[in-house]
């Protein structure tokens, strides 16, 4: 299925226009230009007649442009009135080889998005890429500099072949735009070109597959085939073939009034640089991405009445959506009406079944006039909520929510793993329809949130006290987190004795707050600047209340802003989660077995459970060297960054020692392992424990510990304290004269290798190499290794176990090599 017109969660667009009474933006069109006409035909005309050019067309489609397929050629019939009009060109991969990009690129992935215009140049047509990112007043002297330093590139150029019968449009052949390799629209990035050793695009195996023209957009699918020495996956054909989809969308001439972004409220944004700023630099700011919602009755809206928008947001279900899932999809879409009511709108978003041919013969999911929830028959376990945005104003034009069929599998497994100990409905591969339907509903609601302009808010889950998630009354009213835009899918905190709690996420107070902030119509504001005082006031009203805080959660610094984390206390939440996992493991064989089938389902669920153990530990490690972030502006009191208290960091280290670095006997269930593998448990545990150790000894974390100590030596959890706690915990057998098992040996070797790496790589370059060379890290690592070597020499013969003694000798040799003391 062709996937169209969308932007992935977290990528910023490259430009936009903002109208005001006294400003003109770079990228504007010449108001004095006249509509061109076709040259008068004469007997000696160098142009072919319309009939000669497209009279033998095998496929003609009328729409934004009339398109013609003539043999292998594609012609665009471009009306003169559409020359120099702003259009959005969105390039996506429609189909791709297995494991392309390591599995991180899916069908529908956007590769580029840019505003273009068609320009007539003598006997040629140029397709230029237009930027609206940089702006200046047209009368200002600096405007000429902005214009000179932002000369529009020509993406494509071709000659005019002829004109239509009434001379209102010109004809050009555009085949080479789609059969040649044009960097700005192809799906083979340089890094993959190098990785797969791509040699060239084979034009004999590259062609235009399908063309459709709609009133406001044109869709072109084209096959691109590359010769490659090392194609992805197990492919040995020396070939990479992909299907690209190019969407060209006419942008509205009546532009929406934009709204300024504020980093204290989470929104997808577009960037802007104003060179006429009075500040001694360009004025850098952002606009939020949102749909255009205007009340039908402004006066009633002003009185505080709920009012329908002139044009509501409408989502159609894909005709391929199974009937039994349609009610849940519709609920997930229309759940957002409760948030829009906070913004003064009723029936702002509507879900509809796909129309029949009789109801709407022109309906197509590829038509930009329709937003669709696509149901894709794919093994991909994901769902996405992309949208198409006018980069001039931030207006969302259209959106396609993508649900991949096998995402059902993700939620079935997670529900079993994280709720199986507490909820009988989770103890089966055939999750009951009410539960799996509710999960699908909330996934769709989450993706619609993205399509409305909201990014992930990973800080939301830390707003609720951890033990509140064990309360039926609290969770049924407030859910698991204040925002559906957090990753908080299943309530793993609740315990078996907690009856009536909610297990599945839902929308919360932050969602209502963010939608009101971004979508409430402000009638008295005539510009984006007029709105700012009102928007700031709304933020200050909620300041200090964690329910309304925002944090992206991608830098790994703030433990209150993490993916899949639940509750304010990560140590307590992870402890509850592990208690449940330990109850689930002994039951997995029973819960996943099906008569007449093997154990592939058991293997899959068991491996995913192992990753959740890793995730729970990760949530805790982030506290060590962690820094809380509370987004503020200069008019608010208090700091933005505050180190995690020492007591919390010490508690986190104790948890890690107990639950990450001790051998997980509870996980090594022989009844499971002997059904799914002949060997591999030691390597798997080693991999996860080493991962945690590398995370704990990460350069950035150690540098933060050093810096925090300099800022507040009395209250800080110092690097020396952390390393001392780590050494005593990792080598507890040495200090207790105990025997060391295979899992712990691997972990202890990993510690010495990591600590030695800081010393051995002292002269090597890296991102933080300079900082580390002049920090306390190298002396501390050297000192810890010397201390450990002395302890090993003094205690190595006390265990009474030969293999353990050999292990201690080996560690001494490794340390000596690192310290170069042989």
User: Which pLDDT score is estimated for 479?
Assistant: 97
| Domains: count for the chain | 3
Looking at residues 729-744, what average pLDDT do you find? Answer: 95
Residues 669/586, Cβ–Cβ less than 8 Å: yes
Percent helix / strand / coil, the chain, rounded to 5: 40, 20, 45
CA distance 21 to 516: 27
Asked if 560 and 647 sit in the same domain, the reply is no
Within-domain flag for 17 = no
DSSP 162: E
Within-domain flag for 611 = no
Residues 211/61, Cβ–Cβ less than 8 Å: yes
Q: Name the average pLDDT for the chain.
A: 89
Within-domain flag for 241 = yes
CA distance 777 to 465: 36
Asked if 246 and 340 sit in the same domain, the reply is no
* Domain-terminating residue out of 254, 285, 310: 254
Categorize the per-residue pLDDT at 94 as very low, low, confident or very high, splitting at 50, 70 and 90: confident
76 DSSP β-pair partners: 67, 172
CA distance 551 to 541: 18
Comparing 298 with 3, the larger pLDDT belongs to 298
Asked if 548 and 691 sit in the same domain, the reply is no
Q: Please name the helix (run of DSSP H) or strand (run of DSSP E) that holds residue 198, with its range, or none.
A: strand 198-201
Q: Which residues 6+ apart lie within 8 Å of 452 measured at CB?
A: 290, 291, 313, 336, 396, 515
Residues 69/210, Cβ–Cβ less than 8 Å: no
Asked if 758 and 698 sit in the same domain, the reply is yes
Lowest mean pLDDT among 138-152, 386-400, 534-548, 771-785: 138-152
CB atoms under 10 Å from CB of 289, counted, come to 31
Tens of pLDDT, residue by residue over 284-339, are 889 999 999 999 999 999 999 999 999 999 999 998 899 999 999 999 999 999 99
Comparing 184 with 495, the larger pLDDT belongs to 495
CA distance 219 to 211: 6
Asked if 648 and 750 sit in the same domain, the reply is yes
**14 has a pLDDT exceeding 50:** no
CA distance 505 to 491: 8
Asked if 721 and 775 sit in the same domain, the reply is yes
CA distance 39 to 17: 34
DSSP states of 223-260 = EEEEEESS-STT--SSEEEEEEEEEEEEPPSSPPPP-B
User: Which pLDDT score is estimated for 274?
Assistant: 58
CA distance 513 to 535: 11
CA distance 372 to 394: 20
Asked if 75 and 156 sit in the same domain, the reply is yes
Tens of pLDDT, residue by residue over 44-56, are 668 889 999 998 8
User: Which pLDDT score is estimated for 267?
Assistant: 97
Asked if 462 and 540 sit in the same domain, the reply is yes
Token couple for 494: 């609740």
| 698 class by beta-carbon count within 10 Å (0-12 exposed, 13-18 middle, 19+ buried) | middle
CA distance 437 to 321: 13
CA distance 626 to 623: 5
Token couple for 255: 């532009």
3-class SS string, 119-140: EEECCEEEEEEECCCEECCCCC
CA distance 38 to 465: 71
Comparing 64 with 8, the larger pLDDT belongs to 64
DSSP 153: P
Within-domain flag for 39 = no
| Cα–Cα nearest to 549, from 304, 278, 265 | 265
Asked if 100 and 239 sit in the same domain, the reply is yes
Asked if 101 and 234 sit in the same domain, the reply is yes
CA dihedral 491→495→496→499, nearest 10 degrees, is: -70
68 DSSP β-pair partners: 60, 75
Distances (CA, A) of 277 to 148, 151, 633: 19, 21, 20
The structure tokens 């909610």 sit at 502
Looking at residues 150-160, what average pLDDT do you find? Answer: 87
User: Which pLDDT score is estimated for 714?
Assistant: 77
Within-domain flag for 586 = no
| Cα–Cα nearest to 2, from 245, 252, 316 | 245
Tens of pLDDT, residue by residue over 753-809, are 999 988 887 666 666 666 777 678 889 999 999 999 999 999 988 888 999 999 999
Residues 450/339, Cβ–Cβ less than 8 Å: no
Tens of pLDDT, residue by residue over 551-608, are 988 888 999 999 999 999 999 999 999 999 999 999 999 999 999 999 999 999 999 9
The structure tokens 């153990």 sit at 613
CA dihedral 583→586→592→593, nearest 10 degrees, is: -150
Lowest mean pLDDT among 5-19, 221-235, 650-664: 5-19
Asked if 220 and 342 sit in the same domain, the reply is no
Within-domain flag for 38 = no
Tens of pLDDT, residue by residue over 374-430, are 888 777 788 888 889 999 999 999 998 988 888 899 999 999 999 999 999 999 999
**Which domain, by its residues, includes 778?**
619-819
CB atoms under 10 Å from CB of 115, counted, come to 25
**643 has a pLDDT exceeding 90:** yes
CA distance 319 to 355: 8
Categorize the per-residue pLDDT at 278 as very low, low, confident or very high, splitting at 50, 70 and 90: low
Residues 190/101, Cβ–Cβ less than 8 Å: no
Where do the H-state alpha helices sit in 226-350?
298-302, 326-334, 337-342
CA distance 728 to 66: 75
Within-domain flag for 602 = no
DSSP states of 576-632 = HHHHHHHHHGGGHHHHH--TT--SHHHHHHHHHHHHHHHHHHHHHHTTTT-EEE---
CA distance 335 to 340: 9
* Domain-terminating residue out of 223, 254, 285: 254
CB atoms under 10 Å from CB of 65, counted, come to 23
Positive/negative CA dihedral, 94, 100, 105, 106: positive
Q: Which residues 6+ apart lie within 8 Å of 60 measured at CB?
A: 54, 66, 67, 68, 69
Lowest mean pLDDT among 13-17, 421-425, 658-662: 13-17
Residues 199/229, Cβ–Cβ less than 8 Å: yes
CA distance 421 to 434: 19
User: Which pLDDT score is estimated for 448?
Assistant: 96
φ, ψ for residue 672, nearest 5 deg: -85, -50
Termini Cα distance of the chain: 65
Q: Which residues 6+ apart lie within 8 Å of 407 measured at CB?
A: 380, 381, 382, 383, 443
The structure tokens 């980069």 sit at 391
Using DSSP's 3-state secondary structure scheme, residue 527 falls into coil
Residues 381/404, Cβ–Cβ less than 8 Å: yes
Within-domain flag for 590 = no
CA distance 727 to 790: 13
Residues 239/231, Cβ–Cβ less than 8 Å: yes
Q: How many residues does the chain have?
A: 822
User: Which pLDDT score is estimated for 645?
Assistant: 96
Asked if 164 and 250 sit in the same domain, the reply is yes
Distances (CA, A) of 403 to 236, 440, 463: 31, 9, 29
CA distance 187 to 193: 10
User: Which pLDDT score is estimated for 145?
Assistant: 53
Residues 76/171, Cβ–Cβ less than 8 Å: yes
* Domain-terminating residue out of 236, 254, 272: 254
Looking at residues 92-119, what average pLDDT do you find? Answer: 84
The structure tokens 């006066």 sit at 299
Buried b (16+ CB within 10 A) or exposed e, 29-53: eeeeeeeeebeeeeeeeebeebeeb
């Amino acid at each position: 299925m062709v996937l169209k017109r969308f932007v992935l969660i977290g990528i910023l667009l490259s430009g936009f226009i903002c109208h005001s009474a006294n400003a003109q933006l770079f990228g504007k069109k010449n108001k004095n230009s006249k509509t061109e006409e076709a040259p008068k035909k004469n007997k000696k005309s160098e142009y072919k007649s319309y009939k000669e050019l497209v009279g033998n067309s095998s496929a003609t489609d009328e729409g934004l442009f009339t398109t013609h397929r003539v043999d292998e050629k594609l012609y665009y019939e471009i009306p003169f009135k559409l020359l120099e009009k702003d259009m959005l060109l969105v390039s996506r991969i429609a189909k791709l080889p297995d494991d392309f990009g390591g599995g991180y690129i899916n069908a529908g992935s956007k590769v580029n998005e840019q505003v273009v215009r068609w320009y007539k140049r003598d006997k040629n047509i140029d397709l230029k890429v237009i930027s609206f990112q940089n702006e200046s007043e047209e009368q200002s002297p600096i405007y000429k500099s902005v214009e000179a330093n932002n000369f529009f590139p020509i993406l494509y150029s071709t000659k005019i072949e002829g004109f239509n019968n009434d001379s209102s449009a010109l004809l050009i052949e555009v085949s080479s735009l789609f059969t040649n390799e044009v960097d700005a629209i192809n799906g083979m990035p340089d890094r993959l070109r190098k990785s797969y050793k791509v040699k060239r695009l084979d034009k004999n195996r590259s062609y235009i597959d399908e063309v459709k023209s709609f009133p406001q957009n044109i869709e072109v699918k084209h096959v691109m085939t590359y010769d490659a020495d090392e194609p992805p996956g197990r492919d040995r054909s020396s070939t990479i073939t992909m299907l690209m989809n190019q969407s060209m969308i006419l942008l509205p001439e009546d532009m929406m009034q934009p709204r300024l972004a504020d980093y204290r409220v989470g929104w997808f944004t577009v960037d802007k640089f104003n060179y006429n700023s009075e500040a001694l630099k360009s004025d850098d700011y952002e606009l939020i991405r949102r749909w255009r919602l205007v009340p039908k009755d402004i006066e009633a809206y002003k009185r505080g009445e709920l009012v329908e928008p002139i044009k509501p947001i409408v989502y159609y279900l894909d005709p391929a959506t199974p009937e039994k899932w349609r009610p849940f999809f519709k609920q997930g879409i229309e759940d957002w009406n409760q948030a829009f009511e906070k913004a003064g709108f009723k029936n702002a978003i509507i879900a509809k079944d796909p129309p029949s041919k009789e109801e709407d013969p022109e309906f197509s999911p590829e038509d930009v006039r329709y937003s669709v929830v696509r149901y894709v028959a794919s093994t991909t376990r994901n769902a996405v909520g992309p949208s198409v945005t006018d980069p001039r104003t931030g207006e969302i034009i259209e959106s396609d929510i993508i649900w991949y069929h096998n995402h059902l599998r993700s939620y079935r497994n997670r529900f079993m793993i994280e709720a199986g100990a507490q909820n009988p409905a989770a103890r089966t591969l055939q999750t009951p329809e009410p539960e799996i339907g509710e999960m699908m509903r909330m996934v769709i609601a989450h993706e619609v949130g993205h399509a409305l302009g909201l990014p992930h808010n990973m800080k939301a889950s830390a707003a609720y006290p951890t033990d509140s998630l064990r309360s039926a009354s609290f969770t049924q009213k407030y859910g698991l987190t204040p925002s559906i835009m957090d990753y908080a899918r299943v309530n793993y905190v609740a315990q078996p004795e907690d009856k009536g709690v909610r297990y599945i996420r839902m929308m919360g107070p932050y969602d209502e707050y963010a939608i009101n902030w971004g979508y409430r119509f402000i009638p008295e504001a005539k510009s984006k600047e007029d709105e700012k005082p009102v928007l700031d006031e709304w933020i200050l009203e909620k300041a200090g209340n964690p329910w309304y805080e925002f944090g992206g959660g991608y830098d790994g610094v703030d433990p209150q802003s993490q993916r899949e984390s639940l509750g304010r206390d990560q140590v307590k939440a992870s402890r509850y989660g592990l208690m449940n996992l330990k109850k689930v493991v002994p039951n997995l064989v029973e819960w996943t077995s099906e008569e007449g089938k093997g154990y592939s389902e058991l293997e899959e669920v068991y491996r995913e459970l192992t990753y959740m153990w890793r995730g729970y530990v990760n949530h805790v490690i982030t506290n060590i060297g962690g820094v809380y972030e509370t987004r503020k502006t200069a008019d608010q009191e208090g700091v933005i960054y505050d180190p995690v208290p020492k007591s919390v960091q010490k508690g986190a280290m104790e948890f890690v020692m107990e639950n990450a670095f001790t051998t997980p006997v509870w996980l090594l269930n022989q009844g499971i392992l002997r059904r799914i593998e002949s060997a591999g448990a030691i390597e798997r545990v080693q991999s996860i424990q080493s991962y945690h150790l590398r995370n704990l000894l990460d350069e950035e974390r150690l540098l933060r510990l050093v810096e925090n100590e300099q800022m507040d030596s009395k209250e800080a959890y110092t690097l020396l304290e952390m390393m001392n706690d780590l050494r005593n915990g990792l080598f507890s057998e040495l200090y207790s004269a105990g025997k060391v098992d295979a899992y712990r040996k691997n972990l202890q070797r990993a510690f010495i290798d990591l600590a030695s790496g800081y010393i051995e790589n002292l002269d090597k370059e890296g991102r933080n190499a300079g900082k580390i060379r002049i920090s306390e890290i190298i002396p501390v690592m050297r000192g810890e290794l010397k201390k450990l070597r002395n302890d090993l020499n003094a205690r190595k013969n006390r265990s009474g176990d030969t293999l353990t003694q050999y292990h201690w000798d080996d560690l001494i040799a490794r340390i000596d090599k690192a310290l170069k003391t042989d």
